[in-house]
Amino acid sequence: MVEKQRGVTIWLTGLSGAGKTTICQFLDTKLRSHEYQIEVLDGDVVRQNLSKGLTFSKEDRNENIRRIGFVAHLLTRNNIIVLVSVISPYRVIREELKAQIGDFIEVYVNAPLEVCEQRDVKGLYKKARVGEITNFTGIDNLYEIPLNPDVECKTDQESIAESANKILNKLEELGYINPLLLPQFHNYSRI
C-alpha cells in the first residue's frame, strides 16, 4: 500500500463523448496497479443511483453535480484519489466545488462537438438533433468551457495514454502521487 496517500479529486469535465470516462478508466487501472486507493464517480452511474429522479433542468443538473461534489469531498478528505467523470456544464458550480473540496484538479477533456457526435455510441446526439432529447449539452444547452483548467486533454489530437499522462504528471507535480512509482507512465506511445 502507498504510504500516507493524499486525497484529491480529479474532476474531468467536457461534452458527452469527449473521452472523460475512458480517461478515468485508464487512470483507475494505472493508479490501482501501484496500490493507490481510488474511487470513480461516473456521471451516468451516479445519475442512476444517487441522483435518480432528477431531470436535466439547470437546477437539477446543479443538484446532481453538488451531490457528486459532496461525495467527492468526503472521499478526498479521507485520503482517497477520486476520479470524477461528469459533463458538469456550468462554470460556477465547478468553481464552487473546487473551493469546497480544496484538493481539486480540474481537467478539461476537450474534443470538438463534431468529434463527440462521431463517437456517439449511445445515439444521444442524434436524438437531440431530432428533438427526442431536449436540454442536451452542446446542442440546445450551454457548456461553459473552463477558463483556467489545471489540465487540458485534447482527445481529438492525443491518445488516451497521452491525455492520462498529462493528468499523472500534474498529480506528481502537486505531490499527490510518488514520482518514484510512475517511471513507466512517462513513456507512453500512442495506443
114-129 mean pLDDT: 87
Domain of 62 in residue numbering reads as 8-112+144-179
Q: Please check whether residue 81 lies inside any domain of the structure.
A: yes
pLDDT at 184: 52
In a domain, residue 35? The reply is: yes
Cα–Cα distance, 115 to 163 (Å, whole number): 16
Catalytic residue list contains 88: yes
Q: How far is CA 87 from each of CA 18, 180, 190, rounded to the nearest angstrom?
A: 9, 33, 25
- According to the model, what pLDDT value does residue 181 have? 53
Is residue 136 situated within a structural domain?
no
Residue 77 pLDDT greater than 60, yes or no: yes
Helix (H) or strand (E) holding 123, with range, is: none
Total domain count, the chain:
1
Q: Which residue has the higher pLDDT, 52 or 63?
A: 63
Give the pLDDT confidence score for residue 190 in this predicted structure: 39
pLDDT at 51: 64
Q: Is residue 19 part of a domain?
A: yes
Closest CA to 51 of 75, 69, 28: 69
Determine, yes or no, domain membership for 131. no
Question: Looking at residue 5, what DSSP letter applies?
Answer: P
Cα 28 to Cα 119: distance, rounded to the nearest angstrom: 22
Look at 2-11, 41-50, 95-104 and tell me which has the smallest mean pLDDT. 41-50
- Asked if 113 and 102 count as a contact pair (C-beta separation under 8 A), the reply is no
104 in a structural domain: yes
Residue 3 lies in a domain: no
* pLDDT higher than 80, residue 2: no
Of 16, 85, 88, 163, the catalytic one is: 88
Least confident stretch, 14-18, 34-38, 47-51: 47-51
Looking at residue 189, its pLDDT comes to 42
- Identify the CATH number of the domain in which residue 37 sits: 3.40.50.300
| Residues contacting 67, CB < 8 A, separation 6+ | 46, 50, 51
Domain annotation covers residue 159 = yes
Q: How confident is the model at residue 62 (pLDDT cuts 50, 70, 90)?
A: confident
User: What beta strand segments (E) does the chain contain?
Assistant: 8-13, 38-42, 81-85, 104-110, 151-154
